[in-house]
Chains A and B, each alone.
Chain A
């Protein structure tokens, strides 16, 4: 891939980074918009794959997802460039705040603004989940997996790794048992 395209990759992921308010999940609606809808670099299904793998592998989910998309587009260099892109805004913003405004989080206006933003992020995540749902819950077995994992993660505190691994096993089992009939 040419330097210009790597530049686009870096800038796009910097944009994603700066518009993410919260954890890796808050990044999902922004990724859908910038990477799936605007650029067409990945599909909704691929994003869910990346999140699933990102849950069970080391590190921050936002970083894992950026590396995945970058690698798909431009190999090893792409993976590294996209990841540096998503990290870049944090480096600048946090350094400035740490140096100049260490009581930033206590400012009343910041607290009010973020209380509002959290509500908005909820709606954006719900909308993102509805989009993913249409692509990933495609039949009865996938509906059962969705409901089981949702209920278990709401009412128990087991690691997500277990759910992802069990669902992967269930996928293979269901498909092979179904084929034998």
Chain B
């Protein structure tokens, strides 16, 4: 029964991968080598698609790998398998938090955790920024400093920043508007 087996494999991935979608990759690789359902090269291609489609990357990966293993029901079963442990664990924590929200120690724990959480998100943003802004074909000190930076990306970054923070007429627009705008700019100017 492949669907049951698929559910179980992804349930384990969802249970043991801690820290988001990227953390599931080593588990998926291990499933591929152990079961022979897909190759390492296929996994790399699936990752490329998961990163270039709408939807959180980790969920896209689960659906794609499941589909590769066992068609449309496979994609569904794998995704449900991967999210089931999260749902159970978070429901328990959330119920606990509701009961102890006003507890002095719980408040103190969150007082310390919040700036850490903000810093982790900032670090993730800086990681993406490095990938977008630095040219992979240039090295320092071989190239001049201004050659290290992708100027087209830097310009787009500046434009989007101004549109979302300075210009009164566009500041309140939905984030999706800027995403679509940037996609069009990317296609037109060959990013």
Please report A residues at the B interface, Cβ cutoff 8 Å.
Answer: 17-30, 33, 45, 48-49, 51-64, 67-68, 71-72, 76, 79-80, 83, 86-87, 89-91, 93-95, 97-99, 102, 104-106, 109-129, 132-133, 135-137, 141-143, 145-150, 153-154, 159-161, 163-164, 166-172, 174-176
CA distance A78 to B83 in the complex (A): 15
Asked if A57 and B118 sit within 8 Å, CB to CB, the answer is: no
Closest-CB distance, B37 to chain A (whole angstroms) = 14
B113 within 8 A of A: yes
Q: Across the interface, do B108 and A175 meet the contact criterion of CB distance under 8 Å?
A: yes
Give the chain B neighbours of A153 by CB distance below 8 A: 119-120, 123
B148 in contact (CB, < 8 A): no
* Residues of B near any A CB (own CB < 8 A): 14-22, 24, 45, 48-60, 63-64, 67-68, 72, 75-76, 79, 82-83, 85-87, 89-91, 93-95, 97-98, 105, 108-126, 128-129, 131-132, 153, 156-157, 160-161, 164-165, 174-176, 178-179, 181-187, 189-191
B8: shortest Cβ distance to chain A, in Å? Answer: 15
Contact assessment for A71 and B95 in the assembled complex, using a CB-CB cutoff below 8 Å: yes
Residues of A within 8 A of B187 (CB): 109, 112-113, 116
Task: Name the one of B16, B49, B85 contacting A104, with C-beta atoms under 8 angstroms.
Answer: B49
In the assembled complex, the Cα of A21 lies from the Cα of B54 at a distance in Å of: 5
Query: If A125-B128, A161-B19, A168-B109 touch, does A113 touch B123 (CB 8 Å cutoff)?
Result: no
Residues of B close to A67: CB separation below 8 A: 86-87, 90-91, 94
Dominant SS among interface residues on chain B: helix
Q: A22 and B128 in contact (CB under 8 A), knowing A71-B95, A91-B79, A171-B112?
A: yes
Instruction: Report B46 CB to chain A, min CB distance, Å.
Output: 8
Among candidates A52, A97, A127, residue contacting B117 with C-beta atoms closer than 8 Å: A52
- Give bound CA distance, A38 to B54, whole Å: 21
Contact A63 B86 (CB under 8 A): yes
Q: How far does the alpha carbon of A33 sit from the alpha carbon of B178 in the complex, in Å?
A: 13
Q: Whole-angstrom distance from the CB of B120 to the nearest CB of chain A?
A: 5
CB–CB A59/B179 < 8 A = no
Per a CB cutoff under 8 Å, which of B49, B56, B129 touches A122? B129
B156 contact set on A, CB distance < 8 A: 116, 119-120
Give Cα A148 to B184, complex, Å.
Answer: 38
Q: Provide the bound-state CA to CA distance between A163 and B116, in Å.
A: 7
**Across-interface contacts of B160 in A (CB, < 8 A):** 119-120, 123
Known contacts A57-B93, A90-B59, A90-B63; A167 and B54 CB within 8 A of each other: no
Distance of B33 from chain A, by nearest CB (Å): 21
CA distance A30 to B177 in the complex (A): 11
Q: Are A79 and B116 in contact (CB under 8 A)?
A: no
**Interface pair A23/B157, CB less than 8 Å apart:** no
Asked whether, in the complex, the Cβ of A94 is within 8 Å of the Cβ of B178, the reply is: no
